[in-house]
Chain A
């Protein structure tokens, strides 16, 4: 496998009237070509902000920490994304090497421009295709993602398509530039289960065919189990556990991951009581000191958890967890 993406110490704060809000804190991960990495967490955990940072797509009040390093390895050499300043420089990654699929496909298409014109426009910006060739490629892609009668759909507007079809068109558009990295931000959350199953299948097929890397953001652990190779669990701006999907779901180490799995209703055991994770996610303005999860943790060790930020401990090959329970030197 070839390395596609290196993210090191990604730290990002938002400047607001109420002060600096830490949205992402010291997040590091790597992605190989052809790998699907799941990014799981609850609302407000910073997963979307992390993904958008890969294209520097966050709002203008975002302040990246100077230690942040994001390197995308392309065919003609590595690109250090943090050094790209102007939107002209960023065009190489935005929509070119990196494409993104959003949760709400209705909001991501311009309502007054036909689907086809939008697809052709981005192809002309990011590739050297002429209009005629761009149209051919677009119709081919629409057909490839399972939209029947693609040449008619090409002329239609977003409101004329159903939810599942819009998401397919979104995927077709994102993939038509042949990106190296695809960011999928809750791509199936707004869809019904039967349509979700179709979209997941489609994405799996396309990874095999195009060999790109995918960062898959979702709050649904079932979707992660079925699509991703590796997974990172985020809580309140930090990664608390990461590893291969099998390791993390079968042998969760962090109390938060365990809590998430215990709170999830499962069809295999209807008698199992649902155990909520006690309390609520603290406000980002009021981050707990020490381990970010210590206010809701059932395995809280006391002083050490509310004082020190836990380091990552490796529990198995690539399975890492940030929790004092696994920190050998930590005082009990």
Chain B
């Protein structure tokens, strides 16, 4: 694994059995993530986009060892420590927990209403035993709260006294207090109003640069991802269909799904020509995925080969990767 990489996933799959085989018919397995190869560079802001049901949350959780890895490997290397997530347990897992953290989507559900803000932020330190005295804990809590632009006088209050944006800053402080190297932010601004969302995005970017963190930013909102991420991967039905540096992806998308996603974003210009490549239908169920390319049921360019053979993620140029049989024919 190259030294520039923090996370390297190979053939990563996460399967959830939802019904065992036997008396009541054949076993049913949801293939939430299937054969994903993924490299996340140290210090990058990595975006993961896709529609609901595409497996982006499960992939993020698998990288945190919070979802069962059914097949494949995930390596973590931050320069100090190396972990193999398929074999990790006990002490090593505890160490990984302090190095890899998660920020949740809903700041209303993620904070316990019975704990003060100070206790919420201090909890990871106490659970992981990272500090030796109450004074040290308080010191760390105040330091990270200030970094997340929380008013230190508010640490004694309870979450109900705060607005959505402030609550999200509390969740961010809690995720960062253990000094992680890798943070997964799962739809962390989706529940916020536009005027507040920009504030939280700017904060995340600032903290990432200041603390040299590596972020995985999971979102369904392409315009947010375009603004904050360096590299973007697009998921569809458990597979990565395209992965590229942000500018390249948005300037020259290669996969028909990415193209359709981009053109479906409503433009702010009321007179924008309606060039949207409208997709018919909806994302198929992951319990019963179509054969061949997973996107063939909605793809306007699907041919026989798409219905038979699943395309592999291949390099189209530089760091730009795409999984489509026809990407070369579709270049314009």
- Give the interface of A toward B (CB within 8 A): 42-43, 162-165, 192-198, 200-201, 219-223, 225-226, 245-246, 249-250, 259-267, 270, 273-277, 280-281
A249:B260 contact, CB within 8 angstroms: no
Q: How far is the CB of A86 from chain B (nearest CB, A)?
A: 38
Q: How far is the CB of B305 from chain A (nearest CB, A)?
A: 24
CA distance A50 to B57 in the complex (A): 36
Partner of A270, one of B51, B165, B197, B247: B247
- B201 interfacial contact with A, CB 8 Å: yes
CB nearest neighbor in A for B263: A197
A193:B227 contact, CB within 8 angstroms: no
- B264 interfacial contact with A, CB 8 Å: yes
- B125 interfacial contact with A, CB 8 Å: no
CA distance A43 to B164 in the complex (A): 10
Which of B110-118, B139-147, B268-276 is the contact stretch?
Answer: B268-276
Q: Within 8 Å CB of A266, what residues of B? A: 223, 268
- Give the interface of B toward A (CB within 8 A): 51-52, 163-166, 193-199, 201-202, 220-224, 226-227, 246-247, 250, 260-262, 264-272, 276, 278-279, 282-283
Q: How far is the CB of A282 from chain B (nearest CB, A)?
A: 10
A263:B197 contact, CB within 8 angstroms: yes
A246:B270 contact, CB within 8 angstroms: yes
B220:A193 contact, CB within 8 angstroms: yes
CA distance A270 to B276 in the complex (A): 20
Q: Within 8 Å CB of A219, what residues of B? A: 193-194
B226:A276 contact, CB within 8 angstroms: no
Known: A226-B267, A280-B196. 17 other contacts (CB 8 A): A43-B164, A162-B282, A197-B264, A197-B278, A221-B268, A222-B268, A225-B267, A225-B270, A263-B198, A264-B198, A265-B221, A265-B227, A270-B250, A274-B201, A276-B196, A277-B198, A280-B166
CA distance A63 to B279 in the complex (A): 46
B268:A225 contact, CB within 8 angstroms: yes
Q: Within 8 Å CB of B221, what residues of A? A: 265
Q: How far is the CB of A130 from chain B (nearest CB, A)?
A: 35
Residue picked from B51, B195, B222, B265, most chain A C-beta under 10 Å: B195
B268:A249 contact, CB within 8 angstroms: yes
A270:B260 contact, CB within 8 angstroms: no
Q: How far is the CB of B242 from chain A (nearest CB, A)?
A: 15
Q: Within 8 Å CB of B197, what residues of A? A: 263, 276
Q: Within 8 Å CB of A277, what residues of B? A: 195-196, 198
B278:A198 contact, CB within 8 angstroms: yes
Q: How far is the CB of A300 from chain B (nearest CB, A)?
A: 16
Known pairs A165-B282, A193-B222; A263 contacts B51 (CB<8 A): no
A263:B282 contact, CB within 8 angstroms: no
Partner of A42, one of B194, B202, B260, B279: B194
A267:B196 contact, CB within 8 angstroms: no
B246:A267 contact, CB within 8 angstroms: no
CB nearest neighbor in B for A277: B195
Q: Could you list some 5 contacts between A and B, CB below 8 A?
A: A193-B264, A226-B270, A259-B195, A265-B223, A267-B222
